[in-house]
């Protein structure tokens, strides 16, 4: 199986589908990441705040897979934006991961009340120049945050990792990102079980038409839209299922029907608002 890759605005490539370890208990992380790597995943998305970087690192070491065949992302937490904290934070993450460089390092949230996300991103530019990360980006940034970062640092993030699923598609952010060459990574791509996404006719009917599960159908919709996704599961069969999405393509009508699930009033958001989470 070949997982598609996308080219970032810095010239590096990223696997379009990976394994996310958000809310995977630290004690389970080594096992689940090891299983994911055995199944064929090569892109792992973690973060300092998840508390499971060490488990990811143990699985990487145990796998025997060459480092250049893996894509590892981690993130700078909100209380490490100031001064030289970003440098200290990435050093701690690299030690836990057992590697010398991450492939992608993100500012996890803009925390606008503290007005230090531009400084944090500027520090990430330095970390990239030092070779501690290949690519740099942001997470949960809205258009206003992206505009400031680009204007004040002169550097465009490679990705913006945002909450994105059929009932919350963040069209304004996506349009701005696409216009400026920023790749969108979708967290919570299956809605995190917070609503009956899989029971919605647009999803259920497309799944039945292709002989796929509703989850596979939604992942195929993300891939069609050009999103980078890393669904989370701790179950082996679900890990396999989430990777088995490259042998079918949704029709334009099926994509349009899923597109239409977004109420466009922001009510589909399941997580925190970036301007309120500080």
- The domain in which residue 162 lies consists of 7-193+227-234
* 243 lies in some domain: no
Residue count of the chain, please give it. Answer: 278
**123, part of any domain:** yes
pLDDT (tens place) for every residue of the chain, 278 residues total: 789 999 999 999 999 999 999 999 999 999 999 999 999 999 999 999 999 999 999 999 999 999 999 999 999 999 999 999 999 999 999 999 999 999 999 999 999 999 999 999 999 999 999 999 999 999 999 999 999 999 999 999 999 999 999 999 999 999 999 999 999 999 999 998 889 999 999 999 999 999 999 999 999 999 999 999 999 888 999 999 999 999 999 999 999 999 999 999 999 999 999 999 99
Query: Cα 128 to chain center, whole Å?
Result: 19
In a domain, 159, yes or no: yes
CA distance 136 to 10: 9
Say if 271 falls within a structural domain: no
In the chain, the number of structural domains is 1
Provide the annotated active-site residues: 50
Q: Is residue 1 part of a domain?
A: no
167: closest CA among 186, 146, 139?
186
Which CATH number characterizes residue 45's domain? Answer: 3.20.20.100
* Sequence-ordered list of residues with C-beta below 8 angstroms from that of 72, at least 6 positions apart, any chain: 44, 46, 56, 60, 97, 99, 102, 103, 104
The answer to whether position 187 is within a domain reads: yes
């Amino acid at each position: 199986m070949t997982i598609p890759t996308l080219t970032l605005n810095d010239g590096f490539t990223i696997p379009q589908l990976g394994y996310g370890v958000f809310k995977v208990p630290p004690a389970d992380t080594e096992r689940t990441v090891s299983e994911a790597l055995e199944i064929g995943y090569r892109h792992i998305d973690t973060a300092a705040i998840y508390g499971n970087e060490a488990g990811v690192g143990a699985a990487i070491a145990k796998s025997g897979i060459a480092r250049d065949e893996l894509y590892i992302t981690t993130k700078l937490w909100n209380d490490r934006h100031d001064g030289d904290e970003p440098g200290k934070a990435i050093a701690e993450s690299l030690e836990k991961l057992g590697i010398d460089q991450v492939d992608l390092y993100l500012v996890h949230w803009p925390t606008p009340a503290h007005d230090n996300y531009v400084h944090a991103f500027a520090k990430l530019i330095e970390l990239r120049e030092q070779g501690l990360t290949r690519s740099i980006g942001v997470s949960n940034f809205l258009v206003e945050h992206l505009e400031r970062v680009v204007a004040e640092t002169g550097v465009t993030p490679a990705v913006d990792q945002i909450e994105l699923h059929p009932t919350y598609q963040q069209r304004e952010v996506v349009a701005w990102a696409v216009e400026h060459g920023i790749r969108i990574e979708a967290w919570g791509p299956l809605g995190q079980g917070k609503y009956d996404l899989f029971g919605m006719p647009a999803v259920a009917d497309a799944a039945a038409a292709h002989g796929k599960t509703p989850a596979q159908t939604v992942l195929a919709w993300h891939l069609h839209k050009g999103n980078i996704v890393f669904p989370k599961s701790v179950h082996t069969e679900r890990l396999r299922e989430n990777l088995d999405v490259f042998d079918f393509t949704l029709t334009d009508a099926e994509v349009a029907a899923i597109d239409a699930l977004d109420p466009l009033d922001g009510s589909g958001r399941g997580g925190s608002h970036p301007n309120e989470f500080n």
